[in-house]
Amino acid sequence: MTEASPAPLAKIEFDARPYIVNPGKRFSLHDRATRDDGGLDKQLGKDAFELLRDRLVDLQENLYAEQKRALLVVLQAMDAGGKDSTLKAVFGPVDPAGCRVKGFKKPNDEELAHDYLWRVHHWLPKRGYIGVFNRSHYEDAVTVAVKSLAPKKVWSRRVGHINDFERMLADEGTTTVKFFLHISKGYQKERLQRRLDRPDKHWKFNVADLDERARWEQYQERYSEVLGQTSHKHAPWYVVPAERRWYRNLLITKVLVDTLEAMDPRPPKADFDPSAIVIE
Ligand code: ATP
Ligand code: MG
């Protein structure tokens, strides 16, 4: 009898912890790689990603069946950082009945008439659901600061509010996990240029992105501060090297699977005796 070859997953028991932002330490994005493969072979990494994604699909089903807890996934990145393609790759096969993606754009008048967490709170996942935020309340602490959309007194307090808010969510049964898709300024240039070069990508090009690009360093600095101050055991930040897409997808899916396995959602036990039921 030939021995079965080991599953790719078994071969890549890699650790996502080096990508965490450690709570309480001074943090700088400059110290983190934008391009990484964790020393893994690409094909092996892709195979492992598919297995992990299947596992994610199963865990989501259990979370939904259990109806007790929720998972909030926050995605932040500079423009062209790959938020949309991450969503498609990682959450594509997850049952859309139990997973909702919400993108946060510039707040409209109604949203601006409320406190900044109002719109975010409204879109939080309910028990049993995974909620994915494509941009989030972190815009209110980062973009608002970088673009001086409010006085420093206003935006500087928000880190504290956000910490309290995410603590409350953890206490009330929503686990939060946050990903910053990390790219270099050179890589952003390549991706934006691609949108200009390919007519089928013109719709993705937004001239306003160039204004944000001009503030690259300010964004990196403010993100460094905010990530360092808002990463906690109950709501950690992961800085994902995002220039190799297969590795980005693998790492994020690994973290999601680890997070859900730690939550260990279980479908409720039947309150009837299935063997006593006869279907005519
Ligand atoms: P894509 O470009 O891939 O479609 P996107 O998330 O960049 O996705 P856009 O409509 O291009 O979407 O940009 C949304 C803009 O809204 C970003 O520039 C972001 O910084 C801004 N934004 C989001 N939330 C806030 C906020 N609370 N305050 C200020 N600006 C915000
Ligand atoms: Mg954009």
217-247 confidence digits (pLDDT tens)? 999 999 999 999 999 999 999 999 999 999 9
Domain count, the chain: 1
- d(Cα 150, Cα 141) in Å, to the nearest integer? 10
Q: Map residue 219 onto helix, strand or coil.
A: helix
Neighbours of ion ligand 2 (CB under 5 A): 79
Contact predicate 75/86, CB 8 Å: yes
**pLDDT, averaged in runs of 10, over the chain (280 residues):** 52 82 92 95 95 97 98 98 97 96 98 98 98 98 98 98 98 98 98 96 95 98 98 98 98 97 95 93
- Domain annotation covers residue 162: yes
CA 213 to ligand 2 centroid distance, Å: 11
The residue to mutate among 119, 120, 143, 203, having the most atoms of ligand 1 within 8 angstroms of its beta carbon, is 143
CA 244 to ligand 2 centroid distance, Å: 20
What values do phi and psi take at 249, rounded to 5?
-65, -40
CA 139 to ligand 1 centroid distance, Å: 8
- Domain annotation covers residue 101: yes
CA 178 to ligand 1 centroid distance, Å: 17
- Domain annotation covers residue 194: no
CATH code, domain carrying 154: 3.40.50.300
The residue to mutate among 83, 101, 102, 105, having the most atoms of ligand 1 within 8 angstroms of its beta carbon, is 105
Contact predicate 146/76, CB 8 Å: no
- Domain annotation covers residue 4: no
- Domain annotation covers residue 192: no
- d(Cα 219, Cα 181) in Å, to the nearest integer? 13
CA 209 to ligand 2 centroid distance, Å: 6
Residue 240: strand pairing partners: 181
| Confidence (pLDDT) at 104 | 98
- Domain annotation covers residue 100: yes
| Confidence (pLDDT) at 25 | 82
- Domain annotation covers residue 136: yes
| Confidence (pLDDT) at 1 | 43
Ligand 1 atom index nearest CA of 111 = 27
Beta strands in the chain (DSSP E): 70-77, 99-103, 130-134, 174-182, 237-241
Q: What is the DSSP string of 47-85?
A: HHHHHHHHHHHHHHHHHHHH-S-EEEEEEEESTTSSHHH
- Domain annotation covers residue 92: yes
CA 105 to ligand 1 centroid distance, Å: 4
The residue to mutate among 84, 115, 122, 139, having the most atoms of ligand 1 within 8 angstroms of its beta carbon, is 139
Ligand 1 contacts (CB < 6 A) are 79, 84, 103-107, 135, 139-140, 143-144, 149, 206, 212
Domain containing 143: what range?
Answer: 17-185+219-265
Q: Map residue 176 onto helix, strand or coil.
A: strand
Q: Map residue 193 onto helix, strand or coil.
A: helix
- Give the HSE-up count for residue 274: Cα atoms under 13 Å, Cβ half-sphere: 2
How far is residue 81 CA from its own chain's centroid? Answer: 12
**Closest C-alpha residue for ligand 1 atom 7:** 79
- Give the HSE-up count for residue 253: Cα atoms under 13 Å, Cβ half-sphere: 30
- d(Cα 37, Cα 249) in Å, to the nearest integer? 11
* Token pair recorded at residue 253: 């899916």
**Closest C-alpha residue for ligand 1 atom 15:** 105
